[in-house]
Structures are given as C-alpha cells and as structure tokens.
Amino acid sequence: MARILIVMCGVALLASQVPAAQAGASSLVVDARVVDRSGRAVTDLTADDFEVRVDGAPRRISAVRYEPASASDQPSSVLVAVDRQNLRIETSRLTLDAAAAFVAGLSAPHAVGLMVLPEEKVRVAIGQPAADVAKALRALLGAYNPRMPAGDDELSARTALHRVISVMSTVKGRRSVVFLADRMYDGASTVDTARRAALQGVAFYVIAADAPMMTGENQTLASGDRGGISDGLAGLAAASGGALLRRSAGAGAVFERLALELSGQYLVTFETDASDAGRHGIRVGVKRGGLDVRARREFVK
C-alpha cells in the first residue's frame, strides 16, 4: 500500500533528545509553536502568557524564550515520504507541485530528503539538494479514486507511519512530518503511533483535502484536561505537536502557512518533581485568545 507523506524534521519536547539533567535537575524544556488564525507565528509572548499541565496538574513556568528557526542551535531536517494510495488522482498534481515549491523554498537551515512508501529505504537521503526532492515530487501522482473506494488497510497504514517515525528517530535535531493524504484514517487505531511520535519528538503536520474545517482549539487548559490522544490523522497531528491543515482550492496557500508555522518556536521551561519519572501527559496552552499552540502531548523523564 503506497502512502504519501511529507516528513519535516522538527522537535516538540527536548526530553526525548536531551537528558533531563541538561535542562536542570528540577525542570524540563518543551518546544511550542504559537500561531494566529492566519498561521503567522506569534513571537511576543512571555512566561505569564503560557500554561503547562502535566497529567492535568498545573506546573510553574520558570522561563520562556522565542527562538527563530534560522537562529536555532539545533539542526532541522525535512523528509518527504509519499503514500500515493490516499492522495486523489485528479488533484494530486496541484498538491505535489505545491509541495515541491515548498521544499525548494525552504531556508538553508533545513535539510531535505524523500521517502516513497512502501519502499523500505529513503529514496533521496536527508541532506541532498532540495532540487532533487522537488524534481521527484513533480514526477509523482496520487492513486486514490473516490469513485472507486477501497477499504482502509489498518495494518498497512500503521506500519507505514511507524516506518516514517523510525526513519525520523535516527535524525538529530527538530523533526516534523508533513503528511499529505486525502483520507483521514478515521477508522484506524493510531493512538500507539501518536504516542510514539510524541515521545520521540516527531511532529506530524497533516495536509488533507478531506480534513474537517479547523477551528482553533481552546488553549486555556481546563483542570480536567489530561492531554488525551485520539485515533486518526487528526489525533496523530495534535498529539505529536503538529497540526491538521485543510487544503482547499489552490494548494500553494496551505504550504505557505506551513512555512510560516515552522519559522520558529518557543522554548518553555517548566518545573518538575520526583513524581515526573516515567511517561506523562502534557498540555501547553496560552491565555491569549485567538491563538493555536502546537506542542506534544506526552513526554518521558
């Protein structure tokens, strides 16, 4: 089952890539991207604007710093993985050409690669010229025909997603996955995949024509919110620290928004205690209205 994904490297929580001791004996650092409804990065927030809850309990935030991607001391990589069977034949040309332009336009700090599933290896290694990835994208075509629906192969879907995460987990620095699919995997159980992506710091950005219209989730965290994870691509995107972005007429706009989202991130330092050993749910929010926060939903200390 050939699947189309774009995988971009970007990390959501430093606990998976940096030992907790480096963040401080009693603190951890989580990456958070904050955007307005137009997808523009919001860069003027302070510690007083953020909220962090671990397993539903509020934690004290000791420091917040915005870091432009161009000034980060961590590398960022982009892997494009292709799952053709879930990309519509009649609209895939526009999508893939827009994805190619997006990859070609990425700034120098981003390394780029290409993976076409179900192949077992990366087709264009991360770090090769972006022009090579863009050329390969323009040569691809989707294979999904809505008039001839085929049943979802849950095992193949989960295997493909895990394969992408495995590839990304070997890459140092920030890792994000941009997943192109016109079906939402709503019938597939992907909670284990979402948890693995969150714990390993692989953020999935899902771009889909059939995605529901997105509204910004309420980022003021309720006391009972324990960072639950749901099935399907929407759940995977939210849990991993990415986002579900709807592709409408003209695919270029959604990729322009994605580029804006990836232009930087906040480093949010929060206090921990002895009970934080092991795996925990985490939610990062902001008090200012009209903003969306991208941050992973689980971490391990």
CB burial of 37-71 (b: ≥16 within 10 Å; e: otherwise) equals eebebbeebeeebbbbbbebeebebeebebeebee
Q: What is residue 212's predicted lDDT score, i.e. its pLDDT? A: 58
Contact call for residues 164 and 157 (beta carbons, < 8 A):
no
Q: What is residue 130's predicted lDDT score, i.e. its pLDDT? A: 93
Domain that holds residue 72: 1-301
Please give the Cα distance from 111 to 77 (Å, whole number): 4
Positions in the chain whose pLDDT score sits under 70: 1-25, 149-152, 186-187, 210-228, 249
Handedness of CA 42, 44, 46, 48 (dihedral sign): negative
Q: What is residue 85's predicted lDDT score, i.e. its pLDDT? A: 82
In degrees, rounded to 5, the angle at the alpha carbon of residue 137 between the alpha carbons of residues 78 and 123 is: 65
Please give the Cα distance from 70 to 35 (Å, whole number): 17
- The tokens for 104 are 């070609």
Number of domains in the chain: 1
Q: What is residue 150's predicted lDDT score, i.e. its pLDDT? A: 63
Q: What is residue 149's predicted lDDT score, i.e. its pLDDT? A: 65
Q: What is residue 103's predicted lDDT score, i.e. its pLDDT? A: 95
Q: What is the pTM of this model?
A: 0.84
